[in-house]
Amino acid sequence: MVVGLLCLFVIAGSVGAQSLDYETYKATVEPIFLKKRPTHARCVVCHVSANHAFHLEPLNKGATTWTDAQSRKNFETVSQLVKPGEPLSSLLLIQPLAHSAGGAEFHSGGRQFASQDDPDWQAIAAWVKAAH
């Protein structure tokens, strides 16, 4: 069931991936993956591991952010995890969101966003919403 759902998300994501805006992603979405949230590990800490669908490029030694080439790869990956125009059908937004706020039942990385009012959650949602 879970696997089936994941496939649906992936297919939905790839259909409209071109319409997602890279510059907005780079400026407003990607920094969230590097940001430390109280009581949570940063997304990048767990999601550089290659066995994730949400797989981020490892940072270069000593770097605090990604090179443009790495960001482009991250963008491709992340684009597969969202449904353009529909934040609440997008795994990237559902998985780290508290279940009580409309999120997934379980995320090993914790309830990174307690509600849909979290400004970072909203920034990702705005990027997804702007695409058609």
Chain contacts with ligand HEC (rule: CB under 6 A): 40-41, 43, 45-47, 52-54, 81, 91-92, 95-96, 106-109, 112
- CA separation for the pair 47, 38 (Å, rounded): 18
- Tell me the CA distances in angstroms from 127 to 18, 25, 106, 119, one per residue in order: 13, 7, 24, 12
Q: How far is the CB of 95 from ligand HEC (least distance, A)?
A: 4
- Please say which residue, 74 or 112, places its beta carbon nearer to ligand HEC: 112
Q: How far is the CB of 120 from ligand HEC (least distance, A)?
A: 7
Is the CB of residue 105 less than 8 Å from the CB of residue 2? no
- Please say which residue, 46 or 114, places its beta carbon nearer to ligand HEC: 46
Q: How far is the CB of 64 from ligand HEC (least distance, A)?
A: 17
Q: How far is the CB of 102 from ligand HEC (least distance, A)?
A: 14
**Cβ-count burial 2-41 (b if 16+ within 10 Å, e if not):** eeeeeeebeebbeebbeebeeeebbebbbebbeeebeeee
- Please say which residue, 41 or 130, places its beta carbon nearer to ligand HEC: 41
